[in-house]
Structure 1
Amino acid sequence: MYFNRLILIIIVFLSFYASAQNKVFLYEMKYKPNRSKDSIITDKTVLDITTEGLSVFRTLHDKVSDSLKAKTGLGLGRKNRFENQFYIVKKLNVNEIQKIVQNIYSDVYFIKNDEKLIWKIYSEKSKLEKFDIQKAEVNYGGRKWIAWFAPDIPINDGPYVFYGLPGLIVKIEDEERNFSFNLIEVQNSSGTVNYRNKGIMISWTDFQKIALDYYADPFAPAKSLGIPIRVDDGQGNAIKPNMRNLIMKVQKDIRENNNPIELDKIILYK
């Protein structure tokens, strides 16, 4: 069923490939927030590729939020964890890749990604109706990844940080199946690609400190500004929470959902 649906996508894509328009690739992402549990989160992600060589990968939620922020100045709500953020900006014409994270206070951080992707391309192929897809492997972020790319789609890009194969990556997952990305739809777009292009450049070491500081007290910035913290009592009323219990609840959530896609940069929360 998946391959039959995808072949229709490819046929449609090839019919308008020659047009000078931005391309939008939708991928279904599945990931395990906790490696020791079987629970899986499914989300829609989007890869925008512009005619100028800009590539932006993010969740559909983040794309909608970026568009709203460009129009109104306000986006959608942010997640309270760093480990499940999947936002990558590639400028392949200048060999620049950045991971972008945002905290609940809308602070945006850019982390330059210098890890080289050294692909091993296999002769093993499979069929998408009349189209060939070919197998490749790469090590990234402390994980081994298995990819399938379509040489008939001459775009050397793919979801998240993955790029550099002689064809669009239509499917990729890590060997332990903690993360997977599957192409499900292709669109043309003539609109502006709004994305996070302003923030603070940091290193992975800086990121670890920011994440640990947030874990120690997620509400420290709000308290320092004198912003009152309220929670819903379950009946629609805003009440002042027990801060110790609230902090412990957030900390537990962070510890129990600590399966970053860059496993070699995992932060050990205690």
Structure 2
Amino acid sequence: MKELTLLFIILSAKIFSQTSFNVVYEADYKLQYKSQKGNTIAKEDAFALLINEKESYFKNMNKYVGDSLRYENKLNDKSDINEHSKYYTFFRENIGTTNGKIYVTAPISNKNFKYEETNDIDWKLQNEYKKIGNYKCQKAITKKYGRTWIAYFTKDIPFPFGPYKFNKLPGLILEVYDENNDYHYTLYKFGKRKYTSKSANMNTDAKLVDKSKIFDYQRKEIGDQNQFNDVIEDKETLNMLRKKSADKAKNYNPIELSIY
């Protein structure tokens, strides 16, 4: 049994270091989020969850489309900057999920990093139900990454996956949000999509690091006091931008408030 477990871990690690991912179903989610403390109006973004019988792969929709174009060389260094900007996203992570592990690749400041964490999310099922679309959904609650999360899943779609790193429920998660409603995922499309996504992970050169090394990297990027040095010469404007960056970093409200 130990040998089989070790083999599964090795194969899983190999799967998520490769470029392609075999897709059987695709679930698309809308995210409404407040990335700054005190925000009253939520921003919105879209994500794709690629699913097969054993794993899932989650990435931002803009990145999903942009990476597909890059793989086909329809978007490259010669492309217009406006074309590249169409596929920019603040959410750059690729997230692969198996029963035992979660694999994350994060492009940071023109370098690629990756980390692994144990897939140990612990849900408490609630005797509460509601209908989402045509699906009967049950409520579940967990405490993870410094927040309390509420999820609704359906056994009508028997895949134990969901958006971001949320999984391990007896059915697909159709909705999940934190108790402050800072981050709110909602399924808007689900269907069979049997194909191989050859551009699922375009960052196969990523360096493996401990999660603590890159945790909260976006706050550090936002607050980088040197990010405007090469593009702004006026000192007054530069100081103003630096102050804004410092304020944004101070009030940054990430999806994960803690590592675990």
Aligning the two structures, in what range does the TM-score lie when normalised by the shorter sequence?
0.7 to 0.9
In structure 2, the gaps of 5 or more residues are 1-21, 78-83
Question: Is the aligned partner of 1:155 residue 2:162?
Answer: no
Residues 110 and 254 (structure 1), Cα distance of their counterparts in 2 relative to 1, 3 Å cut: farther
Aligned to 2:72, the other structure's residue is in SS state helix
Alignment of 1:51-200 (within 5 A): 53-72=54-73, 74=76, 76-77=84-85, 84-85=90-91, 87-92=93-98, 95-103=100-108, 105-114=109-118, 116-128=120-132, 131-189=135-193, 190-196=195-201, 197-198=203-204, 199-200=206-207
Q: Deviations over 1:165-205 (max 9, x none)?
A: 00000011101100010000123332424223421112233
In the aligned structure 1, how far is the partner of 2:186 from the partner of 2:140? 15
TM-score (norm 1): 0.71
How far has the Cα of 1:37 moved from its partner? Answer: 2.1
Check the 8 A contact 2:219/2:249 in 1, yes or no.
Answer: no
The 3 A distance-change label for structure 1 pair 218 and 102 is farther
- Deviation at residue 44 of structure 1 after TM alignment: 1.0
Q: Deviations over 1:32-63 (max 9, x none)?
A: 01122212111111111145x34221211111
Partner residue, 2:42: 40
Deviation of 1:258 after TM superposition, in Å, equals: 1.0
How far apart in 1 are the matches of 2:187 and 2:207? 31
Q: TM-score, normalised by structure 2?
A: 0.73
Q: Which residue of 2 aligns with 1:264?
A: 258
Q: Letter of the aligned partner of 1:33 in structure 2?
A: S
- Which residue number in structure 2 is paired with residue 202 of structure 1? 209
User: Residue type of the partner of 1:57?
Assistant: F
Q: Deviation per CA, 1:90-131, whole angstroms, max 9, x where unpaired?
A: 2415x221233223x431211222362111011212235764
Give the 3 Å change call, closer, same or farther, for CA 160–193 of structure 1 in structure 2. farther
Q: Which runs of 5+ in 1 are unaligned?
A: 1-19, 224-228, 232-239
Q: 1:191-241: CA deviations, max 9, x gaps?
A: 424223421112233115966775444549xx8xxxxx346xxxxxxxx56
Question: How many residues end up aligned between the 2 structures?
Answer: 226
| Cα 1:64–1:201 shift into 2, 3 Å | same
Counterparts of 1:262 and 1:21 in 2: how far apart (Å)? 28
Give the aligned partner of residue 242 of structure 2.
Answer: 248
Taking the aligned partners of 1:203 and 1:173, their CA distance within structure 2 comes to 27
Q: 3-state SS of the aligned residue for 1:194?
A: coil
1:60 partner amino acid: M
8 Å Cα contact 2:23-2:197 kept in structure 1: no
